[in-house]
Structure 1
């Protein structure tokens, strides 16, 4: 039962466009071939069998100290040789929070683990193993309540009877991004080591699809197998349920196994109904259990399963171990005697058996993301549910990885303290928000309220770390200045290249006489100007004294100090740290080569221009963008579209469908639904008001505010399936910024939402005619169809909205248009005669966790439960930008521009903390490390890779830097640094060395192939 190997690796986008008729033909041919070849799946005929030995009833009294009785090992009698082996793996899938908040689920978790420990300890032969859902955080949750059981857990883990990890939490892969997936596996590995080690299987049972680079991430963490449920297309039938899944580099692979039909295939085995509160019940129906097993074998046959080893998951969401499992395994082995032999197993044991069966057999090859709804709901609407959570996640992760970790690495390299415990604590808070039901926004309000607290905790830890680190760094840097009134600051650029942009300053300064005249201007001087590195002030001035708290190690100074507030424009700030000083007075003013100009007729502001790009403002709230170098004219950018949302937190849906298109599997969802009531702000003159104001303007930058007030239907009526006639006013403010020397137009859009049950999007008509678009993803840029085919027979056909991270591009042979949008996650490509329009979701408002009765999904995705917080009323914001480019996105370095736009450059006070009387110790100290300290700089040929992290190594021994190359071209060059170096070693994602040390003083050569990830440790 082996399959042939395709000549080339199958591409995800090509497969997405196949018609279902072709898939059906493949399924029929495969099934016929399987039947002809082996006959293993023939209907079981009634025949005389050796009588089964009687199964002794379970004792009525549990073993001493246990809630569970001692069980007998599976009674199998004398079995014939069987061509198939069924691995039955008991497990639970533990969502930490979902339709119950975390603490309520933990209450249930403690009961489950208590029972599980008793069951395993008292039945080493009858109940040898259990899988604790592939994530170690559940043990942390349990041991916070029952720390006295740590030794019992360690003993079972060490013996391989309780399998934990490899993840810290089971995450959503799309929303959290590549670096978060790496940290998740690193944290899972390190926590599992405390209890005896992790499972070596990449078990990922339930997220809503899998990213294209997951094979590279798993392999980089030492895992070569992958067990999953969702995301495969009809090609899985040709693959026979298993395949080699290749990462985007076309080289790195893992052995992938789809669970048939899903991870809870044998949940509550033998019960007529799921025994929610009968975890100890032995009241099972053996006939029912055997009938279900026959159905499962039939499903394997129908999908063309090829291996002689089958996998059955015996458990589901929050289910307890089933003590009748040994008896049922024995009954099943007797029932199917000679056909299949069943055994109590584990995921590692199954993968080992599968590899043994495979030997040198050829295996189907697949490359690309797994995001198909062919046989499972894929639930793509989670990308836009509760978008405020996605933005908080992006902000917090950027704060932690861009700023705090890099500052920690720089300080450690200079002999500063290792703060690994505090960094771990911040990451724990962030990672505990990454399970799919949390970060996807598809849970009850209490669950997401808890997430807000965790993000705030991580931000508070980062704030304290940053204050400590700036003091440590000020001792290392040369802050000296000839003027005693000068106040030193540190400019930090976390990129591996120069950065240009605007920074906001709000810093306390000493009570020197020169700083007490509020309203006076302030200048800034670079301590070590070099090349094109320049800084210019904009409205920087002294403000009156104000009270603040300054936290020392042993006391708190509550003092009143003057402050300096304003903005500075930075041109080509080098990577790493640079010293500058602020002083009272006016500095010399340098006019940019191409200043930003505003203009218009009759005193109006109709346009702004910087010599590279022009923006023209429209009276209807839209604006046009004309790129002078490419000649591209983007007409009507920022067009606002609003439509009903009759769906839930898992999926957007149009109205007009009081029941689903089809209630059962196998029936067709005959059409792709479109919104019944789509409205455009520019077309609703009677319900729309627009005005324009200039927020600020100097030669270096200008910001114009487009204010739009728009009356929209207050809600959607589930009974009439129409939007209400009652209207509510909403406000949308676009703050459109142009900078000298920049070809990107930057926009910050604020929405004050007063309505319910609707989706608000902005449209950017690119004018580009294209069949595919390019979207940022986890360590990748993915090409996807602009128009997805609608497969009516699929469980959930493709929806036109898709995921992106940081950027999405429409491109033709001459170049394209890029939309940058950090922290937002959903786009749609809308094709028409005038080209492709990119629609970005600003807000999706719904009132349900899940529900029945709408057009874009056949059945509910969770319990029917109200979630009023998912209406997202009130203020929210989205930061986005538009840029035209020539050639390909890789040649234009669009990926680097996206990273530059998303990163967090910062300015830190280099003052010591004030004393209790408000006085400062010496301010401008002459540190030994100079006035500038380069962290990491890349020099090389080809499209530049992106720095994913620079951090202290997890074990405190040196630093780690990670780069990734999302392009199809090889990058070769050098990684340079000013930090003291002794040796450099390549390492895997768990920070284990993979190459011999290289002695280096200022940097090291590096080479990154197409679509590859590289990690190095240096001391």
Structure 2
């Protein structure tokens, strides 16, 4: 005998093959019926709106008069909403985005009375290994999920503890038959005997408990008013003596807590396509939205939130509601289908529009904030350089300066700064309109110059800024344009010979030959999955050719070109006609003192039905790869499953378990432990490139980064790597010509030769590549460099110094974010994480400039009795209340 918790719900894809607007129309009917049914039937104890709050906001925008009725049901725990804002993809968005998703989702739900305290992810395409830490940080100690599990390789029971690399444990419950197991359940004997009861028996066998859970719902379904009566009849008919009751996920998790003493513990990710599809190659679908989303995440975290914190530290008003809007707009795009890109073209147009709206809000607000700060700090023409790192920065900074002077230099405290001219443009000053007594008069403005500089700066204050003066110079050091086939800095040397690149580490003597090559392969898949065309073989790029180079003391750059002849589409592939050409422009950049070789690839895609990868050679042989997760790394085996003649994977898996993997941003390989040579590693950090594979060759391993895949269908039947029905909407052909990505694209990443793939080594190189200081000049010559520069805004006067630092962290920690408090106007929230292998105790005296410092969770809730100790692969959040610009201001807080 068992108690069967039947969970009534709807799984609400906010957008998919239909648009959000379609969803809104349907929700006005379905959600209203849910409210009416719960109000009229006391026996219908509760219902679940899919664990996300964005759909509730959508509904109430259309039906605001239903707010009080909905809030009553939410407060009474009869209607469950939250904790997510949207049900996130866990691999293709930043860890910070996942945290903000929960933070906004729980806040919206609590405003209506209650946020469900269950980490519910019923349809997400796999789950990254760090999810227990992300949930725990938001006060959630459990997850209920479906996809990615394998009971042969990972766990034996459907209920267990899941432990993250950060050391956090949460309760986990797997939906054995998915979120639609008891969809449309009816009291007919044949339906109960042949479907429901056998499923429940399997669930009971895997749970090993006296109480089990089965969901009753499905995609966009409406509430079934007959469910209480149906479950009463199921109880009567059950030959096992089981009792079927309407229940909530919160109640079932409570039961698990009370009966978890003998649960096993699992560590790792859930990304195996054993019982259900995971879409392992979705990381390269619709690259355009993934790259734009990455850029906005980085801008928010590395620029906008930093200058907001500096402004608020000085009492400058910042309308952070705009930042909330920007975050929510991109989080709306983070649901598994949305960020996955497996949608109709109309839906992806909506996604791109939201992302662009968020980008414009971010850039516009940033412009006003830095202009406000500069108006307090700078004299006319002076330049501010902001440092977004938690330690002082010394190194090369890109600076744009406008001046009427033909040759300039930067000075700090009367000392000249080493600068190098990259580019100087003469700009027409145009004309301005002056209103006189005789009417409007056009007055010509003299021409002026726009300089792009590289500046070698020292000790830019941590999480702060420093100010520089623009002065006239007798002459300027310039990076020289030429045709040299080699570039170098103090660490690396890159040369082109016989069409191949050779990268040399000048300190260790390591050399990698044939550094980069492009691979092109037919893609017979769809918007969910890459799938090879049977009989097709990859095509490879021709030798590289030199376009030009630019060499200076601070920066050296080489531009190359690569070409590859390919068929135009699948039909040409079948015919063997390689009648089209893809051209790649490659720009390699080395900065003085840096370990990264920066690579930018530009191309215009006009070919259909194909996948493009860049192959990066190494001097390494290994059996595993390392890639980044939120606050951690994960090691994955190379080619864990052989497929084809040696093993019939189709008998065990729902799609090919190929070792094409996803990264939050970095991928690395290192020589095997039994290799007697010097320790060596290769570390790649990307900008929005999410998918990789390690390729074994006769000599050394290669890292294959998928740049993009181009396809024209939402779903296709019988793929070589995904047998059976089309994913998504079965038996319906949805053409997606926009997913062919017929457009210009840029791909950027950095290559570094290191000694190990330790988490700390990877993060240090990531910080060097991504956390670049940035500049702003107070000037009146040009009003179009920034979005809102030309508009007049009156700023209140605030005393600010020429140099400032919010704080300087001494310990070997990394910055995740420094944001404004969501709940307190005069507080900041600092999130740090530990990439080392040892726990780190934070010295709290370094925050003495703040009136109050408290350890909080991701939702800014106090953690009673918490010590400032950061475990490896974990985080610490500090609420810094009432920032003081200087110690003497502390008493004013």
Q: State the TM-score, normalized to the length of structure 2.
A: 0.89
How has the CA–CA distance of structure 1 residues 741 and 426 changed in structure 2, closer, same or farther, with 3 Å as cutoff?
Answer: same
SS in 1 for 2:86: coil
Candidates 221, 240, 256, aligned match of 2:138: 221
- Tell me if the contact between 1:221 and 1:988 (Cα under 8 Å) persists in the aligned partners: yes
Q: Shift of residue 122 of structure 1?
A: 0.9
How has the CA–CA distance of structure 1 residues 625 and 238 changed in structure 2, closer, same or farther, with 3 Å as cutoff?
Answer: closer
For residues 467-510 of structure 1, give each alpha carbon's deviation from its aligned partner in whole angstroms, at most 9, with x where no partner exists: 22123323543x35xxxxx512221121213446655555666x
Q: Shift of residue 842 of structure 1?
A: 1.2
SS in 2 for 1:169: coil
Question: Within 2, Cα distance between the matches of 1:852 and 1:106?
Answer: 30
Name the structure 1 match of 2:464: 577
- Tell me if the contact between 2:626 and 2:634 (Cα under 8 Å) persists in the aligned partners: yes
Q: Shift of residue 995 of structure 1?
A: 4.8
Name the structure 2 match of 1:1016: 878
The question of 1:833 aligning with 2:833 is answered no
Name the structure 2 match of 1:794: 653
Q: State the TM-score, normalized to the length of structure 1.
A: 0.78
For residues 117-137 of structure 1, give each alpha carbon's deviation from its aligned partner in whole angstroms, at most 9, with x where no partner exists: 1111111x2212100000000
SS in 1 for 2:206: coil
How has the CA–CA distance of structure 1 residues 608 and 264 changed in structure 2, closer, same or farther, with 3 Å as cutoff?
Answer: same
Q: Shift of residue 527 of structure 1?
A: 4.8
The question of 1:322 aligning with 2:193 is answered no
Q: Shift of residue 966 of structure 1?
A: 3.4
SS in 2 for 1:208: coil
Candidates 750, 766, 778, aligned match of 2:630: 778
Name the structure 1 match of 2:554: 700
Name the structure 2 match of 1:810: 669
Name the structure 2 match of 1:713: 567
Question: Within 2, Cα distance between the matches of 1:630 and 1:548?
Answer: 59
Name the structure 2 match of 1:291: 194
- Structure 1, unaligned stretches of length 5 or more? 1-82, 271-283, 481-485, 510-514, 550-557, 657-674, 998-1004
Name the structure 1 match of 2:709: 844
Q: Please list, as runs of the form range in 1=range in 2, the aligned pairs for 1:965-980 lying within 5 A after superposition.
A: 965-974=834-843, 980=849
For residues 355-394 of structure 1, give each alpha carbon's deviation from its aligned partner in whole angstroms, at most 9, with x where no partner exists: 33x16x3111101111111211111111000111111011
Name the structure 2 match of 1:89: 7
Question: Within 2, Cα distance between the matches of 1:227 and 1:103?
Answer: 29
For residues 920-951 of structure 1, give each alpha carbon's deviation from its aligned partner in whole angstroms, at most 9, with x where no partner exists: 999999974322111342213xxx32201001
For residues 930-978 of structure 1, give each alpha carbon's deviation from its aligned partner in whole angstroms, at most 9, with x where no partner exists: 22111342213xxx32201001110124000101123433334547879
SS in 1 for 2:618: strand
For residues 597-645 of structure 1, give each alpha carbon's deviation from its aligned partner in whole angstroms, at most 9, with x where no partner exists: 99xxxx963322224211121443x411111222221111111111111
- Tell me if the contact between 1:135 and 1:168 (Cα under 8 Å) persists in the aligned partners: yes
Q: Shift of residue 400 of structure 1?
A: 1.2
Name the structure 1 match of 2:157: 240
For residues 719-759 of structure 1, give each alpha carbon's deviation from its aligned partner in whole angstroms, at most 9, with x where no partner exists: x9826525212211101112222232111001211111111
For residues 760-803 of structure 1, give each alpha carbon's deviation from its aligned partner in whole angstroms, at most 9, with x where no partner exists: 11111212111111111222111111232247222334212101
Question: Within 2, Cα distance between the matches of 1:974 and 1:487?
Answer: 39
How has the CA–CA distance of structure 1 residues 923 and 1018 changed in structure 2, closer, same or farther, with 3 Å as cutoff?
Answer: closer
Question: Within 2, Cα distance between the matches of 1:923 and 1:259?
Answer: 57
Name the structure 2 match of 1:951: 819
Q: Please list, as runs of the form range in 1=range in 2, the aligned pairs for 1:613-652 lying within 5 A after superposition.
A: 613-620=492-499, 622-652=500-530
Candidates 594, 610, 619, aligned match of 1:742: 594
Q: Shift of residue 858 of structure 1?
A: 2.4
Question: Within 1, Cα distance between the matches of 2:76 and 2:792?
Answer: 58
Question: Within 2, Cα distance between the matches of 1:565 and 1:543?
Answer: 11
How has the CA–CA distance of structure 1 residues 559 and 948 changed in structure 2, closer, same or farther, with 3 Å as cutoff?
Answer: farther
Q: Please list, as runs of the form range in 1=range in 2, the aligned pairs for 1:857-896 lying within 5 A after superposition.
A: 857-859=722-724, 860-863=726-729, 864-890=733-759, 893-896=761-764
The question of 1:261 aligning with 2:163 is answered no
Name the structure 2 match of 1:931: 802
Q: Shift of residue 465 of structure 1?
A: 1.4
Question: Within 2, Cα distance between the matches of 1:922 and 1:432?
Answer: 31
Candidates 842, 856, 862, aligned match of 1:987: 856
Question: Within 2, Cα distance between the matches of 1:583 and 1:966?
Answer: 39
Question: Within 2, Cα distance between the matches of 1:843 and 1:340?
Answer: 51
SS in 2 for 1:545: coil
SS in 1 for 2:850: coil
Q: Number of paired residues?
A: 849
SS in 2 for 1:398: helix
Name the structure 1 match of 2:439: none
- Tell me if the contact between 2:166 and 2:632 (Cα under 8 Å) persists in the aligned partners: no
Question: Within 2, Cα distance between the matches of 1:217 and 1:747?
Answer: 32
How has the CA–CA distance of structure 1 residues 779 and 257 changed in structure 2, closer, same or farther, with 3 Å as cutoff?
Answer: same
For residues 287-344 of structure 1, give each alpha carbon's deviation from its aligned partner in whole angstroms, at most 9, with x where no partner exists: 324421123124325x633111111111111111112211210110000155211101
Q: Shift of residue 402 of structure 1?
A: 1.2
Question: Within 2, Cα distance between the matches of 1:707 and 1:321?
Answer: 59
Candidates 95, 109, 114, aligned match of 1:192: 109
The question of 1:722 aligning with 2:638 is answered no
- Tell me if the contact between 2:382 and 2:470 (Cα under 8 Å) persists in the aligned partners: no
Q: Shift of residue 867 of structure 1?
A: 1.1
The question of 1:679 aligning with 2:539 is answered yes
- Tell me if the contact between 1:816 and 1:889 (Cα under 8 Å) persists in the aligned partners: no
How has the CA–CA distance of structure 1 residues 112 and 586 changed in structure 2, closer, same or farther, with 3 Å as cutoff?
Answer: same
Name the structure 2 match of 1:552: none
How has the CA–CA distance of structure 1 residues 169 and 976 changed in structure 2, closer, same or farther, with 3 Å as cutoff?
Answer: farther
How has the CA–CA distance of structure 1 residues 1006 and 222 changed in structure 2, closer, same or farther, with 3 Å as cutoff?
Answer: closer
How has the CA–CA distance of structure 1 residues 995 and 351 changed in structure 2, closer, same or farther, with 3 Å as cutoff?
Answer: closer
For residues 69-95 of structure 1, give each alpha carbon's deviation from its aligned partner in whole angstroms, at most 9, with x where no partner exists: xxxxxxxxxxxxxx3010111101111
- Tell me if the contact between 1:528 and 1:579 (Cα under 8 Å) persists in the aligned partners: no
Q: Please list, as runs of the form range in 1=range in 2, the aligned pairs for 1:147-226 lying within 5 A after superposition.
A: 147-226=64-143
- Tell me if the contact between 1:402 and 1:494 (Cα under 8 Å) persists in the aligned partners: yes
- Tell me if the contact between 2:38 and 2:44 (Cα under 8 Å) persists in the aligned partners: yes
- Tell me if the contact between 2:461 and 2:804 (Cα under 8 Å) persists in the aligned partners: no
How has the CA–CA distance of structure 1 residues 932 and 926 changed in structure 2, closer, same or farther, with 3 Å as cutoff?
Answer: farther
- Tell me if the contact between 2:485 and 2:546 (Cα under 8 Å) persists in the aligned partners: no
Name the structure 2 match of 1:525: 411
Name the structure 1 match of 2:488: 609
Name the structure 2 match of 1:691: 545
